Amino acid sequence: MKGDNAMTRKTTHAGLLIVDVQNDFCAGGALAVPGSEQVVSTLSRYIEEAVANDVRIYASRDWHPAVTRHFKTHGGEWPAHCVQGTDGARFRAALHLSSDAVVITKGEHPDSPGYSAFEGHTPEGQSFLADLRERGIEHLYIAGLATDYCVKHSVLDALSAGLKVTVLGDAIAGVDATPGDSARAMVEIREKGAHVVAGAGSLTNAATSLAPERFVGLRPPS
């Protein structure tokens, strides 16, 4: 429809959740996810667009203690990664995260892997979900690392909380410790109600690819 721009159609608030784009999950990191560099460059464009459209940006981070049952050294599954205060735990500089992005910290408990951003909290100590509710954000665009762990668990928790979820398929990458894990994760999140857009390239395209009855504008109602 002419003049009916997705950016200005107003229905409800949208937020962008960038999951765990930290050095240890990127090239050269302790748990480098194949394809992470592509994710970083694609996400940088989504971030610019979100900033331009007042879409609140959340960036989750794994923030593990040095001793946690999550790590192989203490009976867990993974090499040590994203240890609090280390370079590996820093956000990838190439991501160009905006300064007003809200950092969601998770994985601090030594007994829990903390895969989901919904286990995390804001710098003020508020839960991620409480912050979303406070802002009236009902639709989350989700991307980042890794498809088969933190992205998957974050998406499932978002859906359980009743949020609409669009997964940006061109800005995710998986570990695939067992081949097919990421593909299976995608099947599962779709079955649970996530909308997955492949190669949307922009939030506007992602938004308009939804069926009209599911469409949610990027901008808050005014």
User: Could you tell me the sign of the dihedral formed by the alpha carbons of 94, 58, 42, 82, in that order?
Assistant: positive
Query: 90 with 45: CB under 8 angstroms?
Result: no
Active site residue 20: yes
Active site residue 26: no
Could you list the residues that contact ligand VGL (CB under 6 A)?
20, 25, 31, 62, 78, 145-146, 149-150, 175
Query: 60 with 106: CB under 8 angstroms?
Result: yes
Task: Compare residues 118 and 149 and give the one whose CB is closer to ligand VGL.
Answer: 149
Of the listed 24, 26, 62, 106, which one is catalytic? 106
Active site residue 2: no
Task: Compare residues 113 and 217 and give the one whose CB is closer to ligand VGL.
Answer: 113
Q: Write down the least CB distance from residue 41 to ligand VGL, Å.
A: 19
Helix ranges (H only) for the chain are: 36-52, 128-135, 152-160, 181-191, 203-208
Burial tier of 162 (Cβ tally within 10 Å: 0-12, 13-18, 19+): exposed
Task: Compare residues 53 and 154 and give the one whose CB is closer to ligand VGL.
Answer: 154
Of the listed 26, 62, 131, 150, which one is catalytic? 150
Q: Write down the least CB distance from residue 95 to ligand VGL, Å.
A: 14
Active site residues: 20, 106, 150
